[in-house]
Amino acid sequence: MISKILKEIDNFRDPDRVRVLSNFFKTDKGQYGEGDIFLGLTVPISRKIALKYKDISISDILFLLKNKIHEVRLVGLLILVYQYKHIESKQKEDNINCYLKNTKYVNNWDLVDQSAYNLLGDYLVHNKRINILMKLVNSKSLWEQRIAIVSTYAFIKKGNIKWTMKIAKKFLNNEHDLIHKATGWMLREAGKRNLEELLKFLDKNLSKIPRTMLRYAIEKFPENLRQKYLKRY
C-alpha cells in the first residue's frame, strides 16, 4: 500500500512549482525549513490522495510522516485527520498519540496548520487535558509551540477564547516570526467571537506585542480602528 501511495504522489510532481515552494517555505541553509524537499503537489491534490487512502494503518501513516519529502508527510497528516474525524472516540487516542510522539516530523507551518486544531485541538476540547497543551507551549521546538497556539482554534470555534489569550500572553516575548503570525491569527479569530476581550488584551499588552502579531490580530478591524492601534504602537 505504501508503494502505491508514494507512486501516486510522485505521479503528481510538478518541477515548475518546486522552486516556488522551496522559496516560500524557506528551505535554504539556516532557514526554518532547511533541507525540506518538495515535489510540487498542490494541497487539493494532496487531500485527494489522502482521502483515497484514508483507511491505512497507523504504522503506515507513521511511515509517511517520517518521509523526507514534504508532500508525503502532508498526505500522512491529512490521513491522520480524516481517520480521527471518522473513528470511535476510544480509537482517537491512537491517532493523537501518533501525532504527539512524532511532532518533529510536523516541521513546517503548513503541516502544523493543516493538522493541529483538527487533531489535537479537537481532542483537547473533548478531553480537557490542558497539560498537553501547556507542555507544547513551553517546548523549545518552534513547531510544537505553533501546534499549541493553532490548536486553540478548536476552542475558539466552541466560543472559548481563554486558552488562546493565555498562550498569546506567553508568546509576547517569543522571538520567532512564525509564532507571531500564528498567534496574531488566533487572536484575530478570537476577536471575531469576543471583540471586547481582544481589545482588552491589545490595550494591556500593546507595548509588548510584536508588530507582526499585532498586524495579524487587527487585520480585519475597521480601518479607523486598525489605524488607531498602529499609530499607538
Alpha-carbon gap, residue 178 to 193, rounded angstroms: 23
Mean pLDDT of 145-166: 97
- Condensed to tens digits (0 to 9), the pLDDT of residues 208-220 reads 999 999 999 999 9
Mean pLDDT of 112-123: 95
User: In DSSP terms, which residues pair with 107 in a beta bridge?
Assistant: none
- What's residue 115's pLDDT? 96
- Condensed to tens digits (0 to 9), the pLDDT of residues 123-136 reads 999 887 899 999 99
Q: How far is CA 164 from CA 27, 114, 155, 217, in A?
A: 29, 18, 8, 12
What are the structural domains, with CATH classification, of the chain?
Answer: 1-107 (1.25.10.90), 116-233 (1.25.10.90)
- Global pTM reads 0.93
Alpha-carbon gap, residue 224 to 221, rounded angstroms: 8
Place of cell 487535558: 129
